[in-house]
């Protein structure tokens, strides 16, 4: 495992498990062994180049959930799952890392009670949606296996 990818990321939270299988997770994160087995199984599919388990990695029905896959010349619909469109995005914030305290931020977020103020919903939500089942999710990132994560970019390798 002497690829540029592996060498550059050594010492961070990216862990190579083989030449094609990696996880991105802190040392404190527990990941089910079945999910790791499923990463390796997926890596053995024809034309699969890389398999990466994310911090929310967990076992699925044959293939892992919470992972990214890179294959060449072949598409695997079974790897998309049932929440197509669920993905990752990079957003720039004005949070200064020298003033950021992860524990305090996590505490503030865990103290949130509701996703959207009832008064805001009554004022802004069209009446046709007043009793819609997804109303309770407005202002959230959804239910199930969805999460928000803050990271700091340490180095830009190619600005183009």
User: What contacts 19, CB < 8 A, 6 or more positions away?
Assistant: 1, 3
Closest by CA to 18, choosing from 4, 34, 6, 32, is: 6
The verdict on whether residue 83 carries a ligand-binding annotation is yes
Q: Could you tell me which residues come within 8 angstroms of residue 7 by beta carbon, excluding any fewer than 6 positions away?
A: none
Helix (H) or strand (E) segment spanning residue 121: helix 118-124
Pairing relation of β-strands 14-16 and 21-24?
Answer: antiparallel
Tokens representing residue 63 in the block = 């293939």
Could you tell me where the beta strands, DSSP code E, fall in the chain?
14-16, 21-24, 48-58, 65-71
Largest CA-CA distance found in the chain, in angstroms, rounded? 59
As annotated, the binding site includes: 83
As annotated, the binding site for Mn(2+) includes: 83
């Amino acid at each position: 495992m002497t690829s540029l990818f592996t060498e550059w990321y050594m010492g961070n939270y990216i862990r190579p498990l083989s030449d094609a299988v990696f996880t991105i997770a802190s040392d404190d994160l527990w990941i089910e062994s079945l999910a790791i087995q499923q990463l390796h199984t997926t890596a053995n599919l024809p034309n699969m180049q890389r398999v990466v388990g994310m911090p929310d990695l967990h076992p699925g029905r044959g293939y892992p959930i919470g992972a990214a896959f890179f294959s060449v010349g072949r598409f695997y619909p079974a790897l998309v799952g049932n929440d197509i469109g669920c993905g990752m995005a990079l957003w720039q914030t004005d949070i200064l890392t020298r003033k950021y305290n992860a524990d305090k931020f996590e505490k503030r977020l865990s103290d949130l009670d509701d996703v959207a103020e009832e008064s805001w919903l009554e004022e802004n939500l069209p009446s046709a949606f007043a009793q819609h089942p997804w109303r309770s999710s407005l202002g959230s990132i959804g239910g199930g296996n969805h999460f928000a994560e803050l990271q700091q970019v340490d180095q830009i390798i190619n600005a183009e």
